[in-house]
C-alpha cells in the first residue's frame, strides 16, 4: 500500500515538473516574439500613414488632373528607412525615405537626390 502512494507522489511530481517546463518555454517564446510583433506593427503604421498622406508627402504635382496614389511601400523598421512607389495614372515616381514615430505622430523625411 505504501508503494502505491510513493509511486503516485512520484508521478505527480514528474507531472508538475513537465508542466512547469512546458509553460516556461511558451512564455519565453512569446517574449522572444515581441520585437517581431512590434516591428510588424511599426511597418503597418508607417505604410498606412504613407498611403493616406501621399499627396502631401510627394513634392511634385501630379499631371493631367490626376492624383497620387501609392503602389508599393517597403519599410525597414530596424533602420527606420524605406522606399515608396507612387503614380497618378500617367507618371510614376519612387522615393527613398526615413521616418520617425513619436506616439501617434509619424514623420516622413524624403531622401534628397544627390
Q: Which tens digits make up the pLDDT trace of 78-109?
A: 999 999 999 999 999 999 999 999 988 999 99
Quote the CA–CA distance of 49 and 67 in Å, as a whole number.
17
Q: Which residues contact 35 (CB under 8 A, 6 or more apart)?
A: none
Q: At which residue does the C-alpha cell 504613407 appear?
A: 50
| Res 110: pLDDT | 94
Per-position DSSP letters for 55-84, written without gaps between them: HHH--SPPSTT---EEEEEEEETTTTEEEE
| Res 1: pLDDT | 67
| Res 106: pLDDT | 94
Q: At which residue does the C-alpha cell 519612387 appear?
A: 94
Q: At which residue does the C-alpha cell 516574439 appear?
A: 33
| Res 7: pLDDT | 80
SS3 content of the chain, % helix, strand, coil (to 5): 50, 30, 25
| Res 31: pLDDT | 57
Q: Which tens digits make up the pLDDT trace of 6-58?
A: 887 878 778 788 877 777 655 555 556 666 667 889 999 999 999 999 999 99
Quote the CA–CA distance of 37 and 40 in Å, as a whole number.
5
Quote the CA–CA distance of 108 and 99 in Å, as a whole number.
5
Amino acid at each position: 500500500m505504501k508503494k502505491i502512494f510513493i509511486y503516485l507522489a512520484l508521478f505527480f511530481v514528474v507531472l508538475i515538473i513537465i508542466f512547469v517546463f512546458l509553460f516556461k518555454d511558451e512564455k519565453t517564446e512569446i517574449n522572444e516574439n515581441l520585437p517581431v510583433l512590434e516591428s510588424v506593427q511599426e511597418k503597418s503604421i508607417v505604410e498606412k500613414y504613407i498611403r493616406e498622406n501621399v499627396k502631401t508627402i510627394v513634392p511634385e504635382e501630379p499631371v493631367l488632373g490626376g492624383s497620387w496614389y501609392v503602389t508599393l511601400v517597403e519599410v525597414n523598421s530596424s533602420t527606420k528607412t524605406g522606399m515608396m512607389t507612387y503614380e497618378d495614372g500617367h507618371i510614376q515616381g519612387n522615393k527613398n525615405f526615413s521616418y520617425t514615430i513619436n506616439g501617434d505622430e509619424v514623420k516622413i523625411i524624403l531622401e534628397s537626390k544627390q
